[in-house]
Structure 1
Amino acid sequence: MAIQNKQAQPKQRLRLWYKGKGKVENELTQFSGTEEPPSASVLKLFNYKAIDDDKDHLIIARDDSYIDMLNIQGHGVRSLTYDQQTDLLSDYHRFLQVFLPDHKYLITPFPIDTSTQKTFWGQRYIKVSDQLRHETNPIKARQLQTQLRYIKVKQEQNILVEQQLRSEEFFLIIFGKDKESIREERDSALNTGGIALIMNQLTLAKKKEILFRINNLNTEIK
């Protein structure tokens, strides 16, 4: 995975939604990377020192407590009917009533990865180009040239998608004083999310990517 710095681009915006004891629920804090970080900013949230090397890859905070992250599946809310939206909201309210531990929601923009598509069309371009070099039939040669033009268009589209579009990813952040408690909280969240919060555990590579982006808001990952 190559990392490219783009100095001219504005800093990306991460959003943090906090729900915990002693705080106002649904408080939304935004940090653009230019102003002084607020007390609940994502930078202070992940005041960690290491990632544990066990099977769960828990994040170890500087006070020796633990942090874990779960990916939340997004919903196309605008495409749902009113009844479906109501059911989704009701299910989320039920989760808030059942899941009592302190937790946060992280919403972060990630670049759309079209590397698989670019690899496919790149290999296709090489194959068609090779066929064209050995083709003696003028009609078939024109057909191959048309295919090459089409492949170039697809590759240009893939590049534009990566340059211009971002996809938002959603994460539930949970906290625990020790490994046992945070594993219990994680299992509880996974079992009580219902249809509103369909969650999955993250791989070590994904956790590293998220932490890198949080600490390098103006750097693009490929």
Structure 2
Amino acid sequence: MIRRLCAAASAVLLTAGLLACSPPNTGRVVARAASDGLRSPSATPTPPPTSTTTPPPGPQPVEKHSGKGNASVPTTWPMRLGFVTFDCPKCSGHVAVNTEHELIVNDAGPYKGTQWINDMPGYQAKTFTIKANAAWTLTITDESGLPVLEPGKALSGKRDVVFFVPEAVSSVAVTTKGNGNTAVWVHGGDYSDLPVNQLGDYKGSVPVPGPAYVSLEGDGTWTVTAS
């Protein structure tokens, strides 16, 4: 399953050898743009600096779209971080959701998962391009719509998810099973980092100085515990 392609820098992606726009086959390749430009996953990522974490803006009304099959959907979401849940319970085959700048869903249906948008300054999502073969819903919320990682409280689930990490948290323990690939993104302020990107199951601890957001991507089940 392939996720997070920035269309704005195709030359860089070709150099990195990422084939992010074809249907998924043997696993997921992850690429994402940080505030300093497009980059590929690093073997030794740098944790996001806590000094750049900016308090989120005020509440934003939920935006919801629904349809069936392939579609192009304009969004009124402002230039702020947004969390997109795409749900296509009867989809089969290739399922994809693009913005102008990145591929946020590239999977095989049925699919339900959450990703973020507008995490790079100046790169605002204005239109979603959807590839699906059944009825779907697309919902965008602010951070109030996210599950919160409370210290010492384990959360479990499956597929792609985004968590809010409060200030009291300093690290997040992650266990995944049955995944073709496990990717963990951390976003604080205008900074995104990829501390985990590996094939197969994963068990380990990720430094996450809150407040921040954690995106967990995988095809199987997961359990996370903040501390």
With CA pairs under 8 Å and 6+ residues apart, which has the higher RCO, 1 or 2? 1
Q: Aligning the two structures, in what range does the TM-score lie when normalised by the shorter sequence?
A: 0.3 to 0.5
- What is the TM-score with the length of structure 1 in the denominator? 0.34
Where is the helix percentage greater, Structure 1 or Structure 2? 1
